[in-house]
Chains A and B, each alone.
Chain A
Amino acid sequence: MNSHTITHRQLFFLIVQTQIGVGVLSLPFSLFTKAKIDGWISLIIAGLFIQFSILAIWKLCDRFPHNTIYEILPKLMGKNLGLVFNFIYTLHFAFISILILIMYNSIVGKWILFETPHWVIIFIMTAVGYYFITSSPREIARFFVIVTPLLIVLFVFILYAYTDVHLLYIFPVGQTGMLTIIKSSSDAVVALLGFDASLVFLAYSNGTPAKNIKVISFASFCITVLYAFIVFTTYIFFNPAEIIIVPEPVLYMLKAFSFSIIERTDLVFLSIWIISVATSFISYLFIAAKGVQTLFGLNDHQKGAPYVAIFCAVIAIIPNEKLEVLMWNKYISLTSLIFSALFPIVLLLIAVLRKKQEKGAASS
């Protein structure tokens, strides 16, 4: 365990990179379909909500220091029920990986490689993911730190949109009503998923609990702000009548820009965005592999990794029509909402009520 720990700074980058993923491209669109032009408010509210989930996750992991969710569950619910929930969680994380693959495939198939068979696109990503998860969290975290500066490039690209924005588009603020805004924030929570990676990665952190919570919370805050910025930018770039017909507003926005050295900015943006998708995928695949390790009592997660990777790739190939993709997206989003955002709070309640706590835990 000692050589696999990560610092709290690395934990920050792990969470940031896990949170930024496929969601960012279609988020403005999906929020618009629910909350109209007030989608960005929903996103900020969602950002507030997930802070509660994060607090619950942190409290839960704090009671069981250096334990992953898979080790915590049996301790909380007894051996048998714990095993069942371990299975559910492993499957849940595997399906998030699958959802990432599906969404990535549909975007890449639509924007970059029109002719390439879908299974090739998926298998390439899975192969890369497999290569990554054969190592320790420390090395993965180091890699995530390196690629984070690329987010600045993405940010600058989007910043360029401000040469042609119309602030009037977002007015009147709050036109859809508070209730709709709050309701549609559940959609935004799905895009912000990634903080749940701390269920596993917190166990590896060697920072103090106080530092850990600051770091996770700040990571989520940063991403919420970044996403809100992106959503807001697209809303003032396109007029409300346009957004409804562009499913990936960010890309359409970038497609409109052309510089004297690069004609299609969106292709460059997508190439960098793929790295962010890959990092999210790697995180979740790693977590799923960890789950498989606990389920089958393997010595290390590397042994189960190839099976997890192949499982994800094979399942991800199944949906190939646009409607199917939407359906998968809907269901997996729903389960993620339950298991990643809500269930940790329930687990914390169980832990508090049953007074379950590992010896040596700092808080009491």
Chain B
Amino acid sequence: MTFFKKPKKLVQTKNAPENQDSSHETNSQDSSQQTHSQESQPGGVQNLSLNEILTKVKEPFSATEDLLTHEIELPSDKSRIALLYIESIVDKQLVQSMILNPLFVTDKEINFNSFKQMASIDLKKHTEMKQVQELLLQSNTLIFTDDTTCFYAMSTPVKTQRDITEPDNETIIRGAHEGFIENLSMNLALVRKRLKTPRLTVKYLQVGKETHTTIALLYVDNIANPEHVKEVEKRIKSIEADAVYTPGNIEESIEDKPFSFFPQMLSTERPDRVAANLMEGRVALVYDTSPTAHVMPVNFFSFYQSVDDYNKRWHIGSFFRFVRIMGFFIAMGLPAVYIAIVSFHFEVIPFGLILLIKSSLEDIPYPPLFEALLMELTIELIREASIRLPTRIGSTIAIVGGLVIGDAVVKAGLVSNLMIIVVAITAIAAYIVPSNEMSAAVRILRFPFMVAAATLGFLGIVFGFLILIFHLCKLYTFGSPYFAPIAPLNLADLKDAFIRAPFWKQNTRPKDVTAQKVDNANHTRKWDKS
């Protein structure tokens, strides 16, 4: 235990920058734990001496060496105070500027009581001994005084966040280029910035017995269906695990059908996408240590909506939306249709093409299914490799994969020219989905379709699509139908599914969300009527 007669020696730099705002960020976290109960309960701070208290507090932390204690004797009334914090997650400059400087810098000798009044916003009084651990782990600096019935906590988090950048996997041409980062309060700020309404509600939930992962549950109070909010909250609260690391853990724990290929929550790193979905009456989960947010309940078409659509002229937005949904069918069905045609139904090829196709296929030793599987797997290999490799080597992969393999495989006579075209179109079609999860689902699903086409031809494809579409019809996420404006059919909601109707036509919220207010009060062209 260190004892400092002259506490100023602690200071590394005298002119510590006033880092006021970073302490505000974690205020919101503290407020949930803030209890003002003055009753002394069994777990409360008892009448022990300061030293005894400190030993007791440090007990659960085993022998960790980054838990530091500083005992200070105040020059004014010779009373003793002790500071307790975890060095690695606390900004020492902040401790200096927020706690030590006010106590010592001023000429006027002040005691702890006057300090308390000065720093009353950031300083919180606690009486529960139980909270010590939690507060310490949340980057608080604890202050113990001679009055051992209570202690004070001040939020002094170390600033470790990266800059706000555009998410790489959801880039758009026009619109905001902001993305979530690995800091909850900043993420919430990004959403709040867009929804300046008092009805935007944030609920903090904690999961993981050891990790204490904080999740923020967001919804707009007077729009979102309370049933959905309750359901999401119930499911998250039921998670019991020592460690919950990633949003993926949460997603898998609370989704309805864990065996479905389709993503049942929209993962996005874009605050504008989250804000728009919140205003449609959906619920969002924002995480502390991950830039990914989840939106629920979503329908199939949510995955095909991009912020870009709404910044284009509506015909163009509609056209690209339509192209994307076509992409879904192309990515899933094109290789299968090709296999079915060349191995079963040669008759459907028009007369002009038949010689071309025949000549291209004649020398290929493998059955079409094998050809297709080979090329599809190659594409997946190239894709995976280009994700894992640093960008500088990535271009090498593109050359090796695209030129060498693509060209050589045809010249070697392993795969037909046509198959390369089919596989290339399929690959492109699979990647135009604005959601990575949906794109992955589509890419996986084309393999069963290829096998079905190779065994039963068109019949196999038809049955494959029947099962697929019916699976989508049967799927529910948080009680709302997944294939929504289509099944159950709602003609009015098709305005934002296959096409993107103009803004002044989008005057109802989607019905599948069962929002409290269906009318979204869109009357944007009133001037035109008069």
Contacts and interface: CB of A to CB of B under 8 A. Distances in A.
Interface in A97-151: 108, 112-113, 116, 120-121, 124-125, 128, 131-132, 135, 139, 142-143, 145-147
Instruction: Name the residue in A128, A142, A272, A274 with the highest tally of chain B Cβ atoms < 10 Å from its Cβ.
Output: A142
B276 interface: no
Contacts of A262: 348, 350
B474 interface: yes
Contacts of A275: 462, 466
A10 B488 CA distance: 9
A113 B457 contact: yes
Interface string B301-326: 00000000000000000000000000
A264 B467 contact: no
Contacts of B180: none
A241 B434 CA distance: 58
Interface in B436-488: 456-463, 466-467, 469-470, 473-474, 481, 483, 486-488
Contacts of B474: 135, 139
Contacts of B344: 112-113
B466 A278 contact: yes
A258 B350 contact: yes
Contacts of B345: 112, 264, 267
B352 to A, nearest CB: 8
A33 interface: no
B487 A142 contact: yes
Contacts of B347: 263-264, 267
Contacts of A108: 459
A217 B459 CA distance: 32
Interface in B197-238: none
Given A143-B487, A146-B487, A146-B489, A268 B470 contact: no
Contacts, number: 84
B459 A263 contact: no
B486 to A, nearest CB: 6
B348 A264 contact: yes
Interface in B346-398: 347-352
A112 B2 CA distance: 88
Contact of A139 (B466, B473, B489): B473
A171 interface: no
A271 B459 contact: yes
Given A108-B459, A124-B463, A274-B459, A146 B349 contact: no
Interface in B321-348: 344-345, 347-348
A261 interface: yes
Contacts of A274: 459, 462-463
B486 A124 contact: no
Contacts of A270: 458
Interface string B381-425: 000000000000000000000000000000000000000000000
A262 B347 CA distance: 9
Contacts of A264: 345, 347-348
Given A113-B456, A128-B467, A131-B470, A145 B350 contact: no
Contacts of A121: 459
A259 interface: yes
Nearest to A261: B350
A284 B458 CA distance: 24
Contacts of B473: 139, 142-143, 146
Contacts of A268: 348
Nearest to B349: A263
Interface in A249-280: 258-264, 267-268, 270-272, 274-275, 278
A143 B457 CA distance: 23
Interface in A263-317: 263-264, 267-268, 270-272, 274-275, 278
Instruction: Name the residue in B350, B463, B473, B486 with the highest tally of chain A Cβ atoms < 10 Å from its Cβ.
Output: B473
A148 to B, nearest CB: 9
Nearest to A259: B350
B467 to A, nearest CB: 6
Contacts of B461: 271
Instruction: Name the residue in B344, B461, B469, B474 with the highest tally of chain A Cβ atoms < 10 Å from its Cβ.
Output: B474
A350 B467 CA distance: 42
A143 B470 CA distance: 6
Interface in B152-177: none
Given A142-B489, A264-B348, A267-B347, A116 B458 contact: no
B487 A145 contact: yes
B470 A132 contact: yes
Contacts of B469: 143, 146-147
Nearest to A112: B459
A262 B460 CA distance: 19
Nearest to A136: B474
Contacts of A147: 469
B279 to A, nearest CB: 27
A112 B348 contact: no
Nearest to A258: B350
A145 B490 CA distance: 11
Contacts of A261: 350
Nearest to A127: B463
B387 to A, nearest CB: 35
B459 A128 contact: no
A305 to B, nearest CB: 14
A145 B481 CA distance: 15
A13 to B, nearest CB: 9
Given A139-B473, A142-B488, A146-B486, A260 B456 contact: no
B470 A139 contact: yes
B348 A267 contact: yes
A131 B458 contact: no
A10 B487 CA distance: 11
A39 B457 CA distance: 35
Contacts of B456: 113, 116, 120, 124
Contact of B489 (A125, A131, A145): A145
Contacts of B467: 128, 131
A263 B350 contact: yes
Given A132-B470, A143-B473, A146-B486, A124 B348 contact: no
B84 to A, nearest CB: 56
B459 A124 contact: yes
A272 B463 CA distance: 10
A12 to B, nearest CB: 12
A154 to B, nearest CB: 14
A260 B354 CA distance: 12
A270 B462 CA distance: 10
B457 A112 contact: yes
A96 B229 CA distance: 47
Contacts of A124: 456, 459-460, 463
A147 B481 CA distance: 17
Contacts of A263: 347-351
Contacts of B487: 139, 142-143, 145-146
A128 B466 contact: yes
A131 B349 CA distance: 33
B277 to A, nearest CB: 24
Nearest to B488: A142
Contacts of B463: 124-125, 128, 274, 278
B471 to A, nearest CB: 9
A262 B349 CA distance: 6
Given A112-B345, A143-B469, A278-B463, 10 more contacts: A112-B458, A135-B470, A139-B470, A142-B487, A261-B350, A262-B348, A262-B350, A263-B348, A271-B462, A274-B463
For the complex of A and B, the 8 pairs showing the least CB-CB separation, nearest first, are A142-B487, A264-B347, A271-B458, A264-B348, A143-B473, A263-B350, A142-B473, A145-B489
6 contacts: A10-B488, A112-B457, A124-B463, A145-B489, A267-B345, A274-B462
